[in-house]
Structure 1
Amino acid sequence: MAKKDVLLNVLEKFTSPYINLTDKEIADPNGNKMSSLTNLGMGYVFEELIRKFNEENNEEAGEHFTPREVIKLMTHLVFEPIKNNLPPVMTIYDPACGSGGMLTESQNFLKDDETGINARGDIYLYGKEINDETYAICKSDMMIKGNNPENIKSGSTLSVNTFANEKFDFMLSNPPYGKSWATEVKYIKDGNEVIDPRFTVTLQDYWGENYEADATPRSSDGQLLFLMEMIDKMKSSSANGVGSRIASVHNGSALFTGDAGGGESNIRRYIIENDLLDAIIQLPNNLFYNTGITTYIWLLSNNKPIHRKGKVQLIDANQLFTKLRKNLGDKNCELKNEHIDYIIEMYQKFITSNENYDGKTLVSKVFDNRDFGYCKVQIERPQRLKSQLSDELIETLLFDKKLEEPMKWCVEHLGQSCYNDISVYKAQIEEYLEKEKIELNVKDKKALLSSKLWEKHHRLFTTAKLLQKTLGVDEFNDFNRFKIKVDKVLKESDIKLTATEKKVILNAVSWYDENAEKVIKKIAKISGDKKQQLLQKLGCKEEQLANFGYYPTAKKDEFIEYETETSLRDNEQIPLTQSIYDYFIQEVQPHVSDAWINLPSVKIGYEISFNKYFYVHKPLRSLEEITQDILALEQKSDGIIKEILGL
């Protein structure tokens, strides 16, 4: 500022006798009283300045700060339930600390006489921030308030595990959501393998076997990685008597994005199955400066009181707010102290309740952990194929499916000699590809110019023609019988094909038809211990095996397994609290009689749908009400509506 010659102007503004930035009421030189500025007010001043500057720079202000009343609510949620049992020395951590608001407000809350806590022990603040400017602000704030600035680190929390050897008592954060972490993937994953232990979790499959699961979300949104970072830093209750408590702000995608077995779902599953999730509070819209979307506070604890164990409380505080007289960016409302008190009161009651506070509805619901889980299972249907050795179908064997267009051009323009030696036409083919702007990768281009590929397809074509000559062009309704006949002809003709080549021919001359016979995959003998193990694994009786894809024949202990028609495969999402078999019998089998459960495909997922749990049905308006509205509009429109409707 000195170099730009603006420092003096700034200092004059801040030291002006007409501005009161103190916490006491004073008068200006003209005798006019100037109100004091509270800590909350000073926070708003700071936040408004940052918001304005970042709007000019097209940056996201949400990366820098959180509204002070949201921080206040978070500190109450974290500290108030254990205010009489706080550790003598406390450590507080924010992995995306920004300007340090979460940290300093937590410290103020613990030390403030008015809160009734008035903690006497030492408090140590830790944080990490990737933005250099806000890192500098945070570090300066630590120095001004007598905290150790060396505990605030610069850099990416995700790329480098700076506090790998630390565990913290309390953690509060508002990590960036909806922001890509693609540039940091290389520090966390090597291909598909997760190399940072913070982002792997131990889960159990459907059969109860432990496995290491990927706990990384899609690269377009890294907010849940910050939550995993905090979970990695939790202290055990044996270390400090109370364990660790976490409050973290997230948007709605953290609740439900990601399929069963995916990174986001694995994170939610790990948190809930390990009984770490205590509560989630839905906040009002337009509470933050840079976004109007709905946000949620996740409250985690690894030492829940007995009455909260195995449970999760959801609180909908979406209607609890006061409108601002003037918008601050996207922020058009705020939480008053009484709103925070209402939410804390509802949290501590820990009941399912719908209460009215000053005309605003606050809803709380308590769920068992398993209520959020589900099994995703594939429902299979048998492949039913018709087959015919027609000229039209056999001709498709002359071309590779991936290279069909350029191969057809070669035959049409260069002749059948392509199947003898394609290499002599290399120049013409390359010219054609360039002219038609057909882009092939190195592998496909090499295959197109390889005699091996052309000879293979010519051999498949001539083999199919031989089969046609022997078996004719009749349509087969039973693929199993057709395949037996094909195998017989190939054997008698001493034609040796690989399994893949034979499959290519069969697929080329066959198609799905719902009236055709089921295609048999194999017929197996299952008896004795093998049968008992199968029944135990599937959790069913012998007469129920067909519902799991094992169909008994007339022979004792003999079962048929059918090929699956992948185009008809369906996925069902079944609550953990419900039996997969019962669901199948009640909801699937009555509509699709030939379906079966693919139990080995089961994946367990978790999602939290506030809309589902807090949905309030609004009945449709009556015809009388609608008629009255139309008539009222009619009066305003001088008969235009009646004329349009022909009334």
Structure 2
Amino acid sequence: MNHQNLSSFIWSVADLLRGDYKQSDYGKVILPFTVLRRLDCVLEPTKAKVLAEFAAKKKAGLNPDPFLLRASGQSFYNTSDLDLRKLMGDQDHISQNLYAYVQAFSPAVRDIFERFSFSTQIDKLAKSGLLYLVTEKFAGIDLHPEAVDNHEMGLAFEELIRKFAELSNETAGEHFTPREVIRLMVNLLFVEDDEVLTKPGVVRTIYDPTAGTGGMLSVAGEHLAALNPQARLTMFGQELNDESYAICKADMLIKGQDVANIVAGNTLSEDGHARAKFDYMLSNPPFGVEWKKVEKEVRKEHQTQGFNGRFGPGLPSVSDGSLLFLLHLLSKMRPASDGGSRFGIVLNGSPLFTGGAGSGASEIRRHLLENDLVEAIIGLPTDMFYNTGISTYVWIVSNRKPTQRKGKVQLIDASSFWQKMRKSLGSKRREMSESHIADVTKLFGSFVEAQLATVFDAGGTEVGQEIVLAASGPSSVPKDGIVKLAPLSRIFPNDAFGYRAITVERPQRDEKSEVVLGSKGKQKGKPQADSALRDTENVPLSEEVESYFRREVLPHAPDAWIDEEKTKIGYEIPFNQYFYVFEPPRPLAEIDAELAQVAARIKAMIEGLAA
């Protein structure tokens, strides 16, 4: 049975739930029951051995846990003599027996069902008279590993997760990242390492601090499996939301991953993988969400541990904590001497430019760029996520840049790489096709500057688009047609985003317009600054401050000077500015002629009505 048929079969349980459950709540029943049946089938061959071992060790007064794990041959076990099929034999007590069966699982699995609030669903199904029918339906599904291997089971479970996320799209964006965005990020993460990842028996680790339902980890695993079936990707994650955590942990369990690597809790206030380092990382943290709830813990770590902790470079505004997740990922990078790391993170636009020189956000950008950690930033189309239509950006960060990338940052504007969805899901109305993903991956992997050439025919109708290298043109243009070129991929030195914020002072003047001089201390005999005339200027790092000052300030204010003590270094990345293409307005004569034609038509219509 392939995963589509399997998930359709499991989905048929929804017919039983219709009426008693809202569509958006089907997953609260179907997902935990799917996990339960899979575990039921996986443990069946060693059931008798585990029960015998449990009885023997209990009688001997020993801790049975390590012995039961060995006996089950899995990373979990169950000490009940019941299973789903045996539960069918006692319809009157199915509720109590099912609850007892779940409680007999090892702690890591029991935790999954507790986070699913499975006991609440058992009670609700029992009151609705559906518990026996639903349990019977799942007991009849063959999910033994011989019939459905881990890969197929994982794909089926992923499909179910997707369906339920779409049904509850009002909250899906919080816990569910569109699959095409994940595929793009995974491509960008692995494209420079294809040679290493295709070696036999390669083992790598991947981590998601905002794991949601585990989609990023799953897609990364599928990608590497397709690239090299002998490779192993060990997955780690942390998730705050209980239900998403349960789904993620269940998904990892079904795929044969160690569920101890998936931790519950708030990543910012309680790092579930303290001191751990990873090869690859992915994250889609919440956009524009304040971090006031964890402010005390975060500020304490920043102040007491500095760069020995996670938040040494600085703290962003309390109104948006997304850069805190970026700092957290930085702290999880392997040292370059141990092979280094690469990670991808989805952020909204504000981390690119908010905060002036010296602010926490600017200092974080400064740390990233001065340490040559940013490989690329890719602008995505709007309306790509379920709960927001805003512009989003994928940052690719690495401490093991290839030689050609050192000291440089690549910006790719993929905002036009989208196709309309057949059916909108919440705020998500657009998606990236496989060809769009391939184009962005190629631009990143090739590390070239490129333009998007849009070709129009003689009548002004768009007839095609083509990606061309910078300073090149499209392969063909219709007769009398035109081509519009827009930058698509640009490469900058790191210091192109840096500037010195200088404070320009002008002197106070008395009623006679004479400069007021200081009379005490260090200011004695020096012109006194007039705060009302104070101004600031941002001077690019690539330019000498003095030459800028002489050119831009002194011609307009000959009495001005720079207060050197107030000079600060800042960094910002005005992404859209680098891709703006100025289009001159049409000639006024042409516009006037068009208006005259419209006015004439309106006049004729009015005269016709009056006749």
User: If the TM-score is normalised by the length of the shorter chain, which range does it land in?
Assistant: 0.5 to 0.7
Q: Match of 1:217? A: 316
1:268-417 equivalences in 2 (<5 Å):
268-356=365-453, 359=465, 363-386=488-511
1:601 to 566, 570, 573: 566
Cα distance in 2, alignment partners of residues 159 and 283 from structure 1 = 30
Given the superposition, is the C-alpha separation of residues 11 and 157 from structure 1 closer, same or farther in structure 2, using an over 3 Å criterion?
farther
> Counterpart of 1:260 in 2: which secondary structure?
coil
Choose which of 518, 522, 525 in structure 2 pairs with 1:520: 518
How far the C-alpha of 1:119 sits from its partner, in A, is: 5.0
Check 1:192–1:288 CA distance in 2 against 1; reply closer, same or farther (3 A cut).
closer
Q: Which amino acid aligns with 2:238?
A: K
Give how far 1:287 is off.
1.0
TM-align CA RMSD: 3.1
Which of residues 271, 278, 282 in structure 2 aligns to 1:172? 282
C-alpha separation in 2, matches of 1:13 and 1:327: 34
How far is the alpha carbon of 1:223 from its aligned partner?
Answer: 0.2
**Pairs within 5 Å for 1:27-106:** 46-47=161-162, 49-53=164-168, 55=170, 60-86=171-197, 88-106=202-220
Tell me how far 1:193 sits from its aligned partner. Answer: 3.5
1:111 is the counterpart of 2:255: no
CA distance in 2: counterparts of 1:605 and 1:281, whole angstroms:
22
Q: Relative to 1, partners in 2 of residues 1:122 and 1:43: Cα closer, same or farther, differing over 3 Å? A: closer
Task: Give the Å deviation of 1:324.
Answer: 1.0
Which residue of the partner structure matches residue 634 of structure 1?
599
Instruction: Tell me the residue number matched to 1:226.
Output: 325
Contact 1:523 1:561 in 2 (8 A): no
State the structure with bigger RCO (CA 8 A, min sep 6), 1 or 2: 1
Once the two structures are aligned, what percentage of the paired residues are identical?
A: 43
Q: Residues 3 and 42 from structure 1, CA distance in 2 versus in 1: closer, same or farther, beyond 3 angstroms?
A: closer
Residue 517 to residue 356, structure 1, CA distance change in 2 (3 Å): closer
CA contact (8 A) 2:279 2:342 kept: yes
Deviation at 1:159, TM superposition (A): 0.4
1:155 and 2:265 aligned = yes
Q: Label 1:38 to 1:163 Cα distance change in 2 as closer, same or farther (>3 A).
A: closer
For 1:463, the equivalent position in structure 2 comes to: none
| Cα deviation 1:432-453 (Å, max 9, x = unaligned) | xxxxxxxxxxxxxxxxxxxxxx
Question: Which residue is equivalent to 2:528?
Answer: 563
Q: What is the identity, as a one-letter code, of the residue corresponding to 1:603? A: K
What's the offset of the Cα at 1:564? Answer: 1.4
Checking the alignment, whether the CA contact within 8 Å between 1:634 and 1:641 is kept in structure 2 is no
Q: CA deviation at 1:332?
A: 1.1
User: What's the CA shift for 1:586?
Assistant: 0.2
Secondary structure at 2:123's aligned position in 1?
coil
The residue identity in structure 2 corresponding to 1:368 is P
- State the AA in 1 paired with 2:393: Y
Q: Is the 8 A contact 1:523 1:560 kept in 2?
A: no
1:339 Cα deviation from its structure 2 partner: 0.9
Q: Could you tell which deviates more after superposition, 43-52 or 621-630?
A: 43-52
Q: 1:4 to 1:581 in 2, by over 3 A?
A: same
Give 1:293 deviation, angstroms.
0.7
Q: 1:43: Cα distance to partner? A: 5.6
Q: Counterparts of 1:334 and 1:301 in 2: how far apart (Å)?
A: 27
TM alignment of 1:461-540, pairs within 5 A: 477=512, 515-521=513-519
Judging changes above 3 Å, is the alpha-carbon distance between structure 1 residues 282 and 43 closer, same or farther for their aligned structure 2 residues?
A: farther
Distance 1:4 1:566 in 2: 69
Question: Which piece of structure 1 moves more, 295-304 or 630-639?
Answer: 630-639
Note the C-alpha offset of 1:160. Answer: 1.5
Q: Is the 8 A contact 1:271 1:277 kept in 2?
A: yes
| Runs of 4+ deviating beyond 4 Å | 6-16, 37-45, 194-197, 521-524, 639-642
Structure 2 distance, partners of 1:237, 1:79, is 17
CA–CA separation in structure 1 for the residues paired with 2:538 and 2:364? 18
**Matched letter for residue 272 of structure 1:** L
Aligned equivalents of 2:311, 2:333: Cα separation in 1: 16
Unaligned 5+ runs, structure 1: 17-36, 202-213, 387-476, 478-514, 525-549, 551-558, 643-647
Q: Residue type matched to 1:148 in 2?
A: D
Equivalent AA in structure 2 for residue 224 of structure 1: L
Q: Which moved more, 1:86-95 or 1:263-272?
A: 86-95
Change (3 A) 1:563 1:102: same
Give CA-to-partner distance per residue, 1:321-371, whole Å, 9 cap, x none. 111122111111111111111111111221221034952667100000000
Q: Which runs of 5+ in 2 are unaligned?
A: 1-120, 139-151, 455-463, 468-486
8 Å contact from structure 2 (residues 302, 309) kept in 1: no
Look up the match of 1:236: 335
Match of 1:484 in 2: none
Question: Is the 8 Å Cα contact of residues 302 and 311 (structure 2) preserved in structure 1?
Answer: no
TM-score normalised by the chain length of structure 1: 0.63
- Give the conservation status (yes or no) of the 8 Å contact 1:177–1:250: yes
One-letter amino acid of the structure 1 residue matched with residue 173 of structure 2: G
CA 1:563 to 1:175, structure 2 compared with 1: closer, same or farther past 3 Å? Answer: same
For the 8 Å contact 1:199–1:215, the answer to whether it is kept is no
CA shift in 2, pair 1:39/1:603, >3 Å:
same
Deviation sequence 1:552-585 (CA, Å, 0-9, x none)? xxxxxxx942221112111111100011111100
The answer (yes or no) to whether the contact 2:182–2:219 under 8 Å persists in 1 is yes
CA deviations 1:492-525 (Å, max 9, x no partner) are xxxxxxxxxxxxxxxxxxxxxxx2432335587x
Confirm whether residue 584 of structure 1 aligns to residue 549 of structure 2: yes
Q: Distance in 2 between matches of 1:152 and 1:617?
A: 49
Q: Residue 138 of structure 1 corresponds to which residue in structure 2?
A: 248
Q: Does the 8 Å CA contact 2:174/2:387 hold for their aligned counterparts?
A: no
- In structure 2, how many angstroms separate the alpha carbons of the residues matched to 1:345 and 1:590? 48
SS in 1 for 2:539: strand
Contact 1:374–1:604, Cα closer than 8 Å, also in 2: yes
Cα distance, 1:43–1:355 mapped onto 2, change above 3 Å: farther
After superposition, the Cα gap between the structure-2 partners of 1:44 and 1:584, relative to the gap in structure 1 and judged at 3 Å, is farther
The one-letter amino acid paired with 1:287 is: M
Task: Identify the match of residue 123 of structure 1 among 233, 236, 250.
Answer: 233
Say which SS state the counterpart of residue 585 (structure 2) adopts.
Answer: coil
C-alpha distance in structure 1 between counterparts of 2:531 and 2:577, whole Å: 31
Residue 519 of structure 1 aligns to which amino acid in structure 2? L
| Pairwise CA distance, 1:173 | 0.6
